């Protein structure tokens, strides 16, 4: 019984640490972007659709953006590729090779250039715009060619 109580205590401490770490990293635009793309590409590699993981993706993206993406996917001009990576394909190396530069913050809005570096010919340049909501940065728009 003591072992179970000790295990539950350690598990609760680890969960609290993970939640604090995630919250701290979302406290900066760079942390939000890095964690988002690491999570997003990892899900693509595992053949899971990150957009359908509503609970998780809401940690990183604004509700406004998710509604906009839903409309794009259903409209006559639907998406021609993945919105967040601005490509039809992806490279697993992107999850670990995320460069962020030219971060600008004005009040509760931010923008940054993001470079996803993969194998030869599999690089993506993006301009990522974020909004701070309740003290947490969230992705609000992504444009290719950043």
Domains defined along the chain, listed by start: 27-144 (3.10.450.50)
pLDDT higher at 12 or 80: 80
Whether residue 3 is predicted with pLDDT greater than 60 in this model: the reply is: no
Which among 69-78, 114-123, 131-140 has the top mean pLDDT? 131-140
Is the per-residue pLDDT at 95 higher than 70? yes
C-beta of residue 92 within 8 angstroms of C-beta of residue 45: yes
pLDDT of residue 146: 62
- pLDDT score of 120: 85
**What pLDDT does 7 receive?**
43
pLDDT at residue 11 above 80? no
In percent, how much of the chain has pLDDT > 70? 77
What pLDDT is recorded for position 25? 56
Q: What is the largest CA-CA distance in the chain?
A: 60
Q: How would residue 145 be classed by pLDDT, with cut points 50, 70 and 90?
A: confident
Averaged pLDDT for residues 81-110: 94
Q: pTM, whole model, 2 decimals?
A: 0.79
């Amino acid at each position: 019984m003591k072992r179970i109580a000790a295990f539950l205590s350690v598990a609760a401490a680890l969960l609290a640490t993970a939640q604090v770490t995630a919250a701290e990293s979302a406290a900066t635009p760079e942390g939000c972007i890095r964690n988002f793309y690491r999570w997003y590409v990892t899900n693509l590699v595992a053949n899971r659709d990150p957009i359908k993981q509503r609970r998780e993706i809401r940690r990183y993206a604004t509700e406004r953006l998710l509604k906009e993406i839903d409309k794009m996917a259903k409209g006559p001009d639907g998406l021609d590729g993945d919105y967040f990576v601005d490509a039809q394909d992806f490279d697993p190396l992107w999850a670990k090779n995320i460069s962020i530069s030219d971060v600008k913050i004005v009040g509760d809005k931010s923008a940054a250039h993001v470079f996803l570096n993969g194998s030869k010919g599999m690089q993506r340049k993006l301009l990522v715009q974020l909004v701070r909501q309740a003290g947490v940065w969230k992705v609000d728009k992504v444009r290719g060619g950043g």
